[in-house]
Every structure is written in structure tokens, then in C-alpha cells.
Amino acid sequence: MKNSTLRAWDVVHTWSSLVCTAFLLMLCLTGLPLIFHDEIDVLSEGTPDVGMPGVASSGEASGLLPLDRMLQVALASRPGEVPTFMAFDNTQPLMTVTTAPRPDSPGADMTVMVLDRSTGKLVSALDESGIMHFLLQLHTDMFLGLGGMLFLGAMGLLFAVAVVSGLVLYAPFMRKLAFGSLRTSRSRRVKWLDYHNLLGIVALAWTLVVGLTGVVNTLADPINASWKATELARMISTYSGQAALAPADYGSLDEAMANARKALPGRNPQFIGFPGGNYSSGHHYGIFFQGDTPLTEHLLTVALIDARTGALTASAPMPWYAKALALSQPLHFGDYGGLPLKIIWAILDIFTLVILGSGLYLWLARRRSRRSGEDVRSALPLTREALTREALTREAAR
């Protein structure tokens, strides 16, 4: 590779890293506790861990109260509000019901309640103002809505560019050093350069995966809007021009679920989107089913049920771009391999914090060296393929 080419890659690596470093530091710091959000929620909220009753031949677990009854319990605790979502835990009888003043209310106006379907009791209302919610909002959109999400997506793309350009620069650097070399007896700058390069190459695959899945996650709103404008519109075309149903006209959830299960046997329900929300039309329950294997549990198929009559209108798997979003969300937080994988994710997150911090330190040290007239080329051999053996020797002796 020509020296001019390496210099160009050096510029790309330096500035793509610098522009996104502050935001990546924030994302890594907020992402660390979010990796363990399930465990933290259980400890902080005291949610009971009860076993799932046996599954009846109909596909519905035995000993569970009807969905209509559970909806009544939730609405009784939030008078004047309407249901927006109902979600299920297929490992235990706990479920959530989300209510809001209107079917299309923003997330900030929604209340999420945890109910025990084996007893019909309200367990708790999730705290949407606690520290974990604050960290999630900061991590997701910095409290700026869609604009904040797209901005962080752009920072994620810059981070991917920084990782790839760092890999390009790493090859000539390692030509003169053994893998994993840490020259701890040299200057502080050289030691941090070695730590930066070693941790960067060790965490290379992880940083790319987490960075790119984070970019996909920032596109959640446009992806959902595209699904509604294309796939959903096609499935409900016969309802075009009709007024949206009023909540008082909603029919039985249990009848709707039974008809959806008949259409999609062998799958587990994940959540229901009520009419007028982001995951349904103004006339339908959108019942989303997941696969029953670790590979397919994040791939959703929707059954649209006429909310007035309970009849099945249409069913279809989510399109490829929605599947990409569904797969990227658990992968981003290591949320599909249990606690051991989460611990690995946390360690790699800490590695990334060190990489970002050391990269910032090396850039500042390089600027100070330039101001003092020091020959900085010998401190950063990874940026010059054409360094002579004498120059490399000088660098090693520093």
C-alpha cells in the first residue's frame, strides 16, 4: 500500500473517530447497565418469578384467566384511558397491558402495567421515570425523538468507518510487531498505542456488530412507518375510507386470539397492538406471533383480526427490513443468550470504552508533540507503511 494511501486512511480514521467519540462514550456508558436491564428491573421492582402453568392442547396455557378479564383489570386502574398494547411472557403467567389517553398517544403518555394472569391481580405499574428509563431514552434518542435517533445512527456509521479504517492501518503496524505486543517499558504514549491496537483488534467483530445493529435500531420509526404504508395498507385495503373504531366497539380479545391461533398454529403470541396504534390499523387487533425456537423467536408474523367481529382479515410475516430490525434489537444488547452472553457483552463494552478513551488520549498527545516540534511519525508507526527500519528502531527505543 502506498504511503499516500496510508496517510489518507489515517485522516479517515482520525476524524471519523473524533467526530463520534463523545457520543460513543455516552452510548457505551449508558449501554452498560442497559445490558442487564432485565436483571435490574427484577431487583428494583420485585417482580415475582412464578412458573408457567401447563400448556393445554389448544395452545393456550391452562389455568390462565381470559384476556378480556385481564384487560378489565388494567382499565379499572386507569379510568378514562384506552388500551394500546398487551404483551405476553411465554415462560410465566405475567403479562403487561399498556394504556394511554388516546390510541395514538405518544410513548411518554403511556402507562405500562404488569398483571398476573393466574390470579387476575395487578402486580405493579412500571416506573417510566426511573433511572433505567432515563438511561434508555438517553441511549436511544437523547430525548430528541426521531431527530436524535437518526443523529445517533449517523454517529454509528462513523464509528463503523473508524473501525474499518483502524483495521486497514493495523496491518502495517503489526508487520513489525508480534500480535499482542505491549511495550510497557516504553513511553506512556507507546503503551497506550499498544493497548488501543490490541483491544481494538480483539473487539473488532463485536464493535462492528453492535455499531451496525445500533444503526438499524435508530431506523425503527421509519421502518414501522414503511410497513404501515405498504404491507399493512395492502392487507387492510378493503377497509379504506371507513372511520376508525371507537374503543367502546372493540370485540372480544379471547375470540380474536383464538382465531389468530387457528391461522398461525405452532407459534407463540408476543404482543397485541390495539386499533389506532403504531402496530395496527384503525379497525384491527394486530396480534404478533413469534417462532417457538431460539432462532425464530425474534421473527414475527402478524395476524390482523377485525376488532369488531373477531374475524381474521389477513396474516403475513413481517417484511425483510422489519425482520432486520427485530433481529438487531436483541443482538445489540446481547439479549438472546442469557446472563453469560450479557457478561461477555459488558466486558466488550468496557473494552470499547478503553479504546475510545485511549484513542482520544493519543490524538491529544500527537497534537502536543506537534506543537513542541517532536517527530510524531515515530510514535504512530501504523500510519506509515514506508517508514524505514531506522525509524522503526527509533520508535521502539522511545
CA–CA separation, 224 and 286 (whole Å): 13
**Are the C-beta atoms of 268 and 319 separated by less than 8 Å?**
no
Radius of gyration of the chain (CA): 26
CA–CA distance from 17 to each of 116, 189, 190, 310, 359 (Å)? 48, 18, 19, 54, 8
Q: What is the pLDDT of residues 113-160, one digit of tens each?
A: 999 999 999 988 776 667 888 999 999 999 999 999 999 999 999 999
pLDDT of 350 above 90 = yes
Query: Percentage of residues in the chain with pLDDT exceeding 90?
Result: 58
Taking the CB of residue 113, how many other CB atoms lie within 10 A of it? 20
Residue 40: pLDDT band (50, 70, 90) is confident
Report the distance separating Cα 4 and Cα 354, nearest Å: 29
Percentage of residues of the chain with pLDDT beyond 70: 87
Grid cell locating 395: 520508535
User: What pLDDT shows up at residue 50?
Assistant: 37
User: Does the model's pTM come out above 0.85?
Assistant: no
Inter-residue contact 255 to 66 (CB < 8 Å): no
| 55 DSSP assignment | B
The pairing of strands 312-317 and 268-273 is unpaired
Q: Which of 275, 320, 327 is nearest to 296 (CA)?
A: 327
Which of 79-93, 133-147, 211-225, 359-373 shows the lowest mean pLDDT across its residues? 359-373
How much is the pLDDT for 57?
35
Q: Given this model, what pLDDT does residue 312 score? A: 96
| Residue 92 confidence (pLDDT) above 80 | yes
Q: How far apart are the first and last CA of the chain?
A: 26
Apex CA 260: angle with CA 336 and CA 254, to 5°? 100
pLDDT at residue number 397: 40
Q: For all residues of the chain together, what is the average pLDDT?
A: 85
Tens-place pLDDT, residues 259-315: 999 999 988 999 999 999 889 999 999 999 998 777 778 889 999 999 999 999 999
The residue to which cell 482520544 is assigned: 360
What pLDDT score does 71 carry?
96
Residue 324 amino acid letter? A
Scanning the chain, the segments in alpha helix (DSSP H) are 3-35, 37-45, 67-77, 131-141, 145-174, 188-202, 204-217, 220-227, 233-235, 253-263, 320-333, 338-371, 389-396
What confidence tens digit (pLDDT) does each residue in 194-205 have? 888 889 999 999
Name the band, by pLDDT with cuts 50, 70 and 90, for residue 248: very high
